Chains A and B, each alone.
Chain A
Amino acid sequence: SQQGEEDPQALSIQEGENATMNCSYKTSINNLQWYRQNSGRGLVHLILIRSNEREKHSGRLRVTLDTSKKSSSLLITASRAADTASYFCATDAWTGGGADGLTFGKGTHLIIQP
């Protein structure tokens, strides 16, 4: 199964700055999702972007998708200490019979310095 790869692996910024994380994937996708994981806890869904969409917003989150480059980015604006977490992109891929389940990258660990 394919896997997305997030970049960078770790990111440390000051509170109030913007944080950008990238995700690259290998094969054509149906949709792409971003999830957040606070330390040792379950993943929480942030946003879903469909393959025919280029950009999507949700509060302080902005996600872009470039299917020609097989990449997506997650921008968190005006970061807060509570944004400290790991962020994962999740993709699926159409196979012969239908969609696979979610496959995750290894995540970007974001630290917001007060």
Chain B
Amino acid sequence: EAQVTQNPRYLITVTGKKLTVTCSQNMNHEYMSWYRQDPGLGLRQIYYSMNVEVTDKGDVPEGYKVSRKEKRNFPLILESPSPNQTSLYFCASSLAAGTNTEAFFGQGTRLTVV
């Protein structure tokens, strides 16, 4: 089954404690991205990757890091989480950037930073 898998689904952490949210896709997609979703603000792109070892900033990259060492994995790293990073996070993948192909989304990670 084609899918994007995020882990964990729920996470409560304390300010400053480094964390990683994993994302894996089984569709051999080249393009992967991370979004955060906040009430009243919609979905905003954090980082994206066009291919292995190619990553770039989205609209709200501050406080986040990513890596793309393998095609299937695109982890999101919060080196020193802060309460303003409390949000619902989604990983997505697609064959290519833009709207030429559909994007597949993970089930989301609800992060709370206290």
Contact = CB atoms under 8 A, between A and B. Distances in A.
A45 B88 CA distance: 19
Interface in A28-44: 29-33, 35, 40-44
A42 B102 CA distance: 13
B99 A41 contact: no
B58 interface: yes
A31 B100 contact: yes
B31 interface: yes
Nearest to B110: A40
A90 interface: yes
Interface residues of B, number: 27
In this complex, which of A101, A102, A107 has the most chain B Cβ atoms within 10 angstroms of its Cβ? A101
A27 interface: no
Interface of B: 4, 31, 33, 35, 40-43, 45, 48, 58-59, 88, 90, 92, 97-100, 102-108, 110
Interface of A: 1, 3, 29-33, 35, 40-45, 48, 88, 90-92, 98-107
The 5 A-B residue pairs whose C-beta atoms are closest, nearest first, are A99-B98, A42-B105, A45-B102, A106-B42, A31-B99
